[in-house]
Amino acid sequence: MTDPAVPAASGARQFWRRLRTQRAALAAAGVVALLVLVALAAPLLTAVEGQDPTTYHPSLVDSARGGVPVGPLGGASADHWFGVEPQTGRDLFARLVYGARVSLGVALAATVVQVAIGITLGVAAALGKRWVDQLLSRFTDVMVAMPLMIMALALLAIVPASFPRPVLVALVIGLIGWGNIARIVRAQTLTLKELDYVAAARLSGWGTWSIARRELLPGIAAPVITYAALLVPTNITVEAALSFLGVGVKPPTPSWGQMLTAADVWYQAAPQYLLLPAGALFVTVLALTVLGDGVRTALDPRAASRLRVGTGRRQESKAAGGGTA
Partner 1 sequence: MVRDAFREVVFPMRQPSVTARRVAAASVSLVLAAGATACGPEDNDAKAAGGDSTPHKGGTLTVLNANPQQDFDPARLYTSGGGNVPSLVFRTLTTRNREDGAAGAKVVPDLATDTGRPNKDATVWTYTLKKGLTYEDGTPITSADIKYGIERSFAPELSGGAPYLRDWLVGAADYQGPYKDKKGLDAIETPDERTIVFHLNKPEGEFPYLATQTQFTPVPKSKDTGTKYEEHPVSSGPYKVVRNDNDGERLVLERNPHWSAVTDAERKAYPDKIDVRSGLDSSVINQRLSASQGADAAAVTTDTNLGPAELAKVTGDKDLASRVGTGHFGYTNYIAFNPKTKPFDNPKVRQAISYAIDRSSVVNAAGGSALAEPATTFLPDQKSFGYTPYDHFPAGKAGDAAKAKELLKEAGYAKGLTVTLTHSNAKDFETSPEIATAIQDALKKAGITVKLQGLEENDYSDKIHDVKAEPGFFLAHWGADWPSGGPFLAPIFDGRQIVKDGANFNTGQLNDTSVNDEIDAINKLTDLDQAAERWGALDQKIGEKALTVPLFHPVYKRLVGKDIKNVVISDWTGVLDISQVAVK
Interacting residue ranges for partner 1, rule: CB under 8 A:
54-56, 58, 61-68, 86-89, 157, 161, 246, 250-252, 265-270
Structural contact between residues 284 and 35, judged by C-beta atoms closer than 8 angstroms: yes
Kindly state the greatest CA–CA separation across the chain. 81
Closest separation in Å from C-beta 44 to partner 1: 22
| Cβ distance to partner 1 smaller for residue 249 or 298 | 249
The closest alpha carbon to 125, from 202, 201, 181, belongs to 181
What minimum distance in Å lies between the beta carbon of 25 and partner 1? 40
Closer CB to partner 1, 161 or 325, in the complex: 161
Of residues 18 and 165, the one with the C-beta less far from partner 1: 165
* Least gap, CB of 48 to partner 1 (angstroms): 22
Q: Which amino acid appears at position 154 of this protein?
A: A
Please say which residue, 61 or 288, places its beta carbon nearer to partner 1.
Answer: 61
Closest distance of CB 165 from partner 1, Å: 10
- Cβ proximity to partner 1: between 68 and 76 the closer is 68
Nearest-angstrom CA–CA distance, 261 and 242: 10
Alpha carbons 267 and 288: distance in angstroms, whole number: 27
Alpha carbon distance 283, 141 (integer Å): 32
The residue among 223 and 246 lying less far from partner 1, judged by its C-beta, is 246
| Minimum CB distance to partner 1 smaller for 5 or for 64 | 64
Q: Give min distance, CB of 56 to partner 1, in A.
A: 5
Distance, CA of 151 to CA of 257 (rounded, Å): 18
Comparing CA positions, the residue from 174, 179, 173, 113 lying closest to residue 141 is 179
DSSP E strands in the chain: the ranges are 61-62, 68-69
Rounded least distance, CB 269 to partner 1, Å:
4
Q: Quick one: 156 or 224, whose CB is closer to partner 1? A: 156
The nearest distance, CB 299 to partner 1, in angstroms, is 44
What residues form DSSP beta bridges with 91?
A: 84
Rounded least distance, CB 61 to partner 1, Å: 6
3-state SS, one letter per residue, for 235-303: HHHHHHHHHHCCCCCCCCCCCHHHHHHHHHHHCCCCHHHHHHHHHHHHHHHHHHHHHHHHHHHHHCCCC
Can you name the residues that pair with 235 across neighbouring β-strands? none
